[in-house]
Amino acid sequence: MPKGPGKYDDLCEDVLKKSNAECVIVMVINGSLGNGFSVSSTRTDILFDLPYMLEQMASEIRNSLPQTNLN
């Protein structure tokens, strides 16, 4: 995660509170503040698993896309 405040930290904090979740990731594409992401968690230990979870998610998305010459 980038150090320092992110563009969408406030939005991410709102989602965390309203969802009563332990961890929230907000990814914004072409938003009013441009592209960005924020992570908010009530438990720091979850953050250590986050890279693995994101790699798994990326793999699942990649594998679900139709096969083209680009992938």
Q: Where are the domains of the chain?
A: 9-64
Cα distance between residue 39 and residue 16, in whole Å: 9
Q: Is 70 exceeded by the pLDDT of residue 35?
A: yes
Q: Closest Cα to residue 62, out of 37, 70, 24?
A: 70
Helix H or strand E encompassing 68 = none
pLDDT for residue 2: 57
Residues 6+ apart with CB under 8 A from 27: 36, 37
Structure tokens at 11: 């939005």
pLDDT for residue 59: 95
Q: Is 80 exceeded by the pLDDT of residue 71?
A: no
Mean of pLDDT over the chain:
90
pTM of the model: 0.76
- Check if the beta carbon of residue 41 is closer than 8 Å to that of residue 47: yes
Helix H or strand E encompassing 7 = none
